Amino acid sequence: MEKKQISKAVINRLPRYYRYLGDLLEKDVVRISSKELSERMKVTASQIRQDLNNFGGFGQQGYGYNVEYLHTEIGKILGLDKRYSLIIIGAGNLGQALANYADFERRGFYVRSIFDINPRLVGLSIRGIEIKSIDEMEEYIKMNQVDIAALTLPKSKAPQIASDLARWGIKGIWNFAPTDLHLHENVIVENVHLAESLMKLSYKLSEKYKPADN
Ligand code: NAI
């Protein structure tokens, strides 16, 4: 397939298509029209057609989309046909919650190791994954393939750790620390900030349920 520039908005919608198609596959649905998909996803059929046309369409006139094929192809676009090795840095509440979530593996993301500075945590295991000392991290990264590092440590510590990770060759950072990281453009940072999502919810709630003007 020819590579062309795809807008960020389309990329942002792909995981949702992927999830819906995955649900359809689980229900043994073989094909679906853009109209049906649009009704399920509450996105217009023309939006779906436009989005999927970016990748050659995948659909056939009068047939709709082959669910398995579309799911596989979107998976490839999202890079989900590969396996990723993940490490987690910071084995506190959030780091442990991520490590405990086995479903990431279904998508090809494997948590291989967890690092922390707290000696009381080092040596413990979460779902069979050992927590190692942060002092062992450089050696570990040099000896093992690590694709993604999740940062679940205090925000004051995140920039230094992120720059160490970049220096040691990590290309993907999944950043949960509430701080912006400024790294070389070769390092791809995906920020996840639940508080920002809550603020959006709060905005929408206050817009919709504004107290009546006096
Ligand atoms: P926590 O205090 O339970 O865990 C932090 C862990 O990091 C501790 O185990 C601590 O020993 C470890 N740590 C501290 N310095 C370290 C270092 N230099 N190297 C390795 N490990 C180190 O905190 P929690 O609740 O798990 O939050 C972790 C981070 O995630 C915080 O920055 C918090 O603000 C952020 N957070 C982000 C959310 C989001 O939506 N993005 C949601 C919840 C928390």
* Nearby residues of 31 by Cβ (< 8 Å), 6 or more positions away: 63, 64, 65, 66, 67
* Residue 170 main-chain phi, psi, to 5 deg: -70, 135
Whose tokens are 């230094």? That residue is: 160
- Residue 123 gets the label, from left (phi > 0), alpha (psi -120 to 50) or beta, of left
Q: What is the mean pLDDT of residues 50-77?
A: 81
Ligand 1 in reach of 94 Cβ (< 6 A): yes
**Rounded CA gap, 195 and 177, in Å?**
11
When pLDDT is cut at 50, 70 and 90, the band that residue 1 belongs to is very low
CATH of 8-77, one of 1.10.10.10, 2.40.160.40, 3.40.50.20, 1.20.1050.10: 1.10.10.10
Residue 59's identity, in one-letter code, is G
CATH of 84-196, one of 3.90.950.10, 3.30.465.10, 3.40.50.10210, 3.40.50.720: 3.40.50.720
In this structure, the residue with its CA closest to atom 12 of ligand 1 is: 90
What would the two tokens of residue 137 be?
């991290």
Higher pLDDT pick, 182 / 7:
182
| CA distances in angstroms from 149 to 16, 37, 70, 85, 175, listed in the order given | 23, 35, 29, 9, 8
- Residue range 166-190, pLDDT digits in tens: 999 999 999 999 999 999 999 999 9
When pLDDT is cut at 50, 70 and 90, the band that residue 48 belongs to is confident
Ligand 1 in reach of 131 Cβ (< 6 A): no
Ligand 1 in reach of 176 Cβ (< 6 A): yes
Ligand 1 in reach of 117 Cβ (< 6 A): yes
